[in-house]
Structure 1
Amino acid sequence: MLFFGTVVGALSDEDSISPQVLQGFTSTRVQLFDTVKVQKLIRGSRRRGNVRVILQESQLTCMYNYIKNDVVTVFTDYPPELLLYYDYTLVNQSLCKDFFSALGYADFSVLSSTLSFRKQILLNSAIQCLKISGSAISRAQLDVLGNMTCMLDSTYIQNSDVHILEKLKQCQDFSEDQISAMENVLLTKNTAYGAPANWTLNTLNTLGILPLYFSSGFWAYFTQKDKAQFMKTFLPWLRARPGLSKQRISSMMNEAQKVSKAKIRLSLRNKRDTACTAGEITQVQASDNSLPFGYDVTQFNVCLSVQALKDNLPAISEKATGSDYQRVILDKLNQAYPTGISDEVLQVLGPASRAATVTDISKWSITMVDTLSALMKSSDGNWTSEQVKAIVGKYLGVSGNSLGSSELNAIGGVNLCALDVSTIRTISSSSLQSASSLSVSTCSLAQKEALFSIAQTAFSDKTLSSSRATSTISSNAYQLIQNYLSGASLAYVQTLAGSSINMDLLTFTSLNPSVVNVSVLLPDLLEVLFSEFCIQMFM
């Protein structure tokens, strides 16, 4: 990001700038350029086929400031996410379909909680533009709505053209009512997938991500063979999707494994309680991408030996991610290592670690930063505050260990916010300066203030350039300390107001309310720090 101005300044053709460079667009950086240059950069950030520039809300609201007075007529000239902030009243109603067709490609998740209300405003405007009456939406109208289809409630889903299922495949998540409605459409309507009685493995393969959400009522129409074959490719695909809940994947497998024929349940019930009937779990099963499909928790427990788990721990832990399965894994590891689990084992424990109790953690050997890094891997799942304190406490309890830059990168901002203020205060300014930028939005005010105090030293202009202190704050220093401003003091924010720094909406709203004293700061903040767009539309 800090090299954005140098790279962009040397190029005259915005289309020749890579998406990676354009992602460094910030209000402070583009102050270096004239308005025409900035508007070209904004157009250069538009969607080009399947290539998108990933932009955050602070960047998009800054971009909006440069086009807010323009009457835009070619909406595809801009990033679709930028249209989330555009003033719809400026759109000529003869072009409203073009506007929503372009907006339909936007990632609506970029809207912060502060501005999430715009989703419903835009959806209502789209419904009015498309003259949608009642709850039935045609295929042509759905094509215009695009990703806005994800915001439609269950009534729309059940009453609209069945093509809605294709649009919903692009959504990131659903409410329970939406899921029930989608399943009902599949089971009762004349869809492209045919009658449930005729469903096959090919049906599952063509439904995209939707099977992840469906109940056992959907899965009952498929044979065990088809489901097992499907899981071999579907599960790896799901596991590779960033941000997808491992618990959601586990819930899907539980629904898919439910046996609908009572006589089969009865014939196996007694055996399952006492013996392995699903097949011993060996290296072959551990390497099967569909594991643990075919094993309920009871069978997983009786079919997995302690030795097989020790020999195949990384593969099994990565696949068996339901909390009940994870508990089985930990219980067997406690049997295998009664005196405690070593660094080497913890480094490959993976998602199963999340089922550990504080008592379990107290027996772990966490002496190396590599172990800390492996345990804190965010893709393996979330930790509770108590678990984080126990893990970091074990690590810091080893002589010579501290919260250096490597440790901070391993722990990350969210987990850092689980630590006591006294522990946070042990972080040195040089460690924070060398660490990656940390998100501290979930920290308490006391934690934020402690971190800001450290960051103020780490990222002061004097520290960064070894020059004498100044009465203003440079754009470089601001960029580096920005993530920690929610703990900023009144004096520091006042200095910002006199430093020609443009502050975005999210940073402004993250400031300590007691620091943003209206009588003292309002004139400066409104004029210098905070964009006119934010004041007029969102404050």
Structure 2
Amino acid sequence: FYRPPCFSTMTPSPHLTCFLWIFRLSPSVLQGFICAAANEMETERFQQLAKAMKQKNVKLGEDQVSPHRVTLNGIPKDLDNYPKDMLLFLSPSDYAGTGSCQQYFSNIGEANIDLLPRDSPQRKQLLVEALACLEIPGTLVSEENAEILGHLVCDLGEEYIRSSSGSLLPQLNECESFVPSQEEAIRNVLSSGSTPFGPPSKWSASTLNELSGLFRLFDRDILQKIPQVCYKRASCCFLTCPRCECECPADKTITEEVVNDELMPIYYTPEELQACLQGVTLVEHLEQMANYAFTDQQLAVLKKKLDELYPSGYPEKIIPNLGAISSLVTINDIKKWNITSAATLAVLLSNEPPNEQVISWQLSAYLFIWISKGRRDASFYLPKSSLFCRMANSLDPSACPQSTKDILYPKAKQAFSDQRNQFPAYYNLIKPYLSGAPGEDLRALSKDNVNMDIGTFMSLKIDSVLNLTADDIKGLLGLNLQDLKKQQDNSPVKDWIRQQRQSELDKLGLGLTGGIPDGYISIPPKIESMKYMAFGFHQLLYCMS
């Protein structure tokens, strides 16, 4: 945790000192960094800081690219000097003083659009405005326009992918994920042979290299048409094998006898396992093979075989048999699992991978997935260490039912209690769990200049929000207070407005209406809070069996 000399009493201009100090830092240090003086900087100094972030090519988070401070005194005329990600939160009209809408969307195409949720209205509107700007009335997108759209191509519907044939492939190749309809459209386009690459039967290793980002979408029909020599060499390279000779040697064929030999690990290199072991064979003998003395590199091959066989997540029946392979599963792997049996959970909790750190987060992950799927309460088992809370952050606690959030918040608060007086560090840690926070804790945060974003505010419990005063909310939202107006028709904002005196609402200066006129008395509604009852482990097994 870096604390810059922002308020050194030895310097006449602490804000400038902070800025110059930050400018000398490397991008790796600047990433995620928030200067303690940033919120008190003059707008001009803050703008200089933002430009420094652009020059350093720092990867910023959503809460770091908000344009509120940069645009406080009006839209700058040199927006190209600011981080491209900031433009995601502005509009083409805001950019008009800097350049054309084509230039604006060209920058947007290079920005990290995943800072906006895929289904968010803001992200959808960006695509609509981009298509209008480029005057694309139908579903045919030219290569030139595809280059301008950049990452926005990842949001185009399947009709655009089909109509545009191969012109979108370079951009689609860079996308992190697709919806099923997009995947099917991409496969159809690739199979049609109408792209510059021609039909799959004519593809070369270099073709597969250019399409490496789409390799995971190839179905059996496409794979069977690709020349085998080309496919084997390319697929091996995609799997990052040290060498690309992927044919299984004749004397390395894996038979039933080989599988039943516990010395199997010494007979095969990781590359030979990759070439010779069939996924079906692994699944049939998983319980046995997962307990052989494979090296980490060999175990990685086994896991990759399972990943290829079950891209949507392992079926529950094989999860208890993962053995040593379980030490390699990631949080994203576990998120795909659908654990429905308490017996399976019991087996997972009893597994003992060799790495103690892996044990800690994996056990936490198993429990987190269990309760987030609406299973019986597992709070009895939740680790008390902050490791669980940091891990759960990656698993998105917002997906949990409210009763689970009510469990997670006090545990997170306890886990991070040693950093309670360190801001913004404490707020960034506790933020994912605030949807389970009581009103008194939110009131305490309102005094710490946390500048809560409106998305986090909208996720708060209604009964907690109703306990807040206008001053509390002003303190919580800080620079983001204006966003409250946009949510006045949505819960919990509308519920809170109805419980406030209009005179108090007027003090916020947002033009909020619907409060209680002076002289009237309001009887607040009764808010029922569901509480989870704690079960012992034997009770959990009994209830879910």
Q: How does 1:389-408 map to 2 (within 5 A)?
A: 389-390=345-346, 393-394=349-350
The structure 2 residue matched to 1:19, chosen from 12, 15, 27, is 27
- Residues 352, 312 of structure 1: CA spacing in aligned structure 2 closer, same or farther, 3 A cutoff? farther
The structure 2 residue matched to 1:513, chosen from 439, 447, 462, is 462
Partner SS state of residue 237, structure 2: helix
1:2 Cα deviation from its structure 2 partner: 5.8
- Contact 2:405/2:436 (CA < 8 Å) preserved in 1? yes
* Partners of 1:311 and 1:217 in 2: CA distance: 37
Q: Alignment length, in residue pairs?
A: 450
* Partners of 1:36 and 1:213 in 2: CA distance: 48
The structure 1 residue matched to 2:117, chosen from 112, 118, 125, is 112
Q: How does 1:191-230 map to 2 (within 5 A)?
A: 191-230=195-234
- Residues 499, 131 of structure 1: CA spacing in aligned structure 2 closer, same or farther, 3 A cutoff? same
* Partners of 1:408 and 1:300 in 2: CA distance: 27
1:510 Cα deviation from its structure 2 partner: 3.0
In structure 2, runs of 5+ residues without a counterpart are 8-14, 247-253, 372-376, 489-545
Q: Deviations over 1:325-360 (max 9, x none)?
A: 9999xxxxxxxxxxxxxxxxxxxxxx99986455x5
* Partners of 2:402 and 2:123 in 1: CA distance: 30
- Residues 373, 68 of structure 1: CA spacing in aligned structure 2 closer, same or farther, 3 A cutoff? farther
> Corresponding residue for 1:44?
52
Q: Deviations over 1:220-278 (max 9, x none)?
A: 222333222222111238xxxxxxxxxxxxxxx9xxxxxxxxxxxxxxxxxx99999xx
* Partners of 2:469 and 2:305 in 1: CA distance: 50
Which letter does structure 1 place at the counterpart of 2:435? S
Are 1:489 and 2:438 counterparts? yes
- Residues 307, 416 of structure 1: CA spacing in aligned structure 2 closer, same or farther, 3 A cutoff? closer
1:310 Cα deviation from its structure 2 partner: 1.9
> Corresponding residue for 2:249?
none
Q: Percent identity?
A: 23
* Partners of 1:508 and 1:494 in 2: CA distance: 13
* Partners of 1:421 and 1:308 in 2: CA distance: 28
The structure 2 residue matched to 1:378, chosen from 323, 327, 331, is 331
Relative contact order, CA 8 A, sep 6+: which one is greater?
A: 1
Which letter does structure 1 place at the counterpart of 2:350? K
Q: How does 1:97-176 map to 2 (within 5 A)?
A: 97-112=102-117, 116-160=120-164, 162-176=166-180
> Corresponding residue for 1:418?
370
* Partners of 2:448 and 2:486 in 1: CA distance: 25
- Contact 2:409/2:436 (CA < 8 Å) preserved in 1? yes
Partner SS state of residue 24, structure 1: coil
> Corresponding residue for 1:468?
none
> Corresponding residue for 1:452?
409
RMSD, aligned CA: 4.7
Q: Deviations over 1:185-227 (max 9, x none)?
A: 3343553324544322332223231222122222222233322
* Partners of 1:373 and 1:145 in 2: CA distance: 41
The structure 1 residue matched to 2:386, chosen from 432, 436, 446, is 432
- Contact 1:64/1:82 (CA < 8 Å) preserved in 2? no
1:156 Cα deviation from its structure 2 partner: 1.6
- Residues 458, 138 of structure 1: CA spacing in aligned structure 2 closer, same or farther, 3 A cutoff? closer
* Partners of 1:391 and 1:20 in 2: CA distance: 40
Q: TM-score, normalised by structure 1?
A: 0.68
Which letter does structure 2 place at the counterpart of 1:98? Q
- Contact 1:96/1:129 (CA < 8 Å) preserved in 2? yes
- Contact 1:418/1:443 (CA < 8 Å) preserved in 2? no
Moved more, 124-133 or 433-442: 433-442
* Partners of 1:13 and 1:123 in 2: CA distance: 38
Q: Deviations over 1:504-532 (max 9, x none)?
A: 23432332222111x74345314642513
Which letter does structure 2 place at the counterpart of 1:287? P
- Contact 2:43/2:72 (CA < 8 Å) preserved in 1? no
* Partners of 1:375 and 1:423 in 2: CA distance: 26
Q: How does 1:288-303 map to 2 (within 5 A)?
A: 288=271, 291-292=273-274, 296-298=278-280
Q: How does 1:324-363 map to 2 (within 5 A)?
A: 356-357=318-319
Are 1:310 and 2:318 counterparts? no
* Partners of 1:353 and 1:33 in 2: CA distance: 54
- Contact 2:316/2:344 (CA < 8 Å) preserved in 1? no
1:102 Cα deviation from its structure 2 partner: 0.6
Moved more, 299-308 or 312-321: 299-308
Partner SS state of residue 110, structure 2: coil
Q: TM-score, normalised by structure 2?
A: 0.67
Q: Deviations over 1:135-193 (max 9, x none)?
A: 22222211111111111122222222633211211111223332333333334355332
Q: Deviations over 1:31-74 (max 9, x none)?
A: 2433222222222222x6xx74232222223x444326533444
Partner SS state of residue 124, structure 1: helix
* Partners of 1:375 and 1:282 in 2: CA distance: 17
Q: Deviations over 1:292-342 (max 9, x none)?
A: 4565445557899968972436444422347869999xxxxxxxxxxxxxx
- Residues 89, 474 of structure 1: CA spacing in aligned structure 2 closer, same or farther, 3 A cutoff? same
1:392 Cα deviation from its structure 2 partner: 6.8
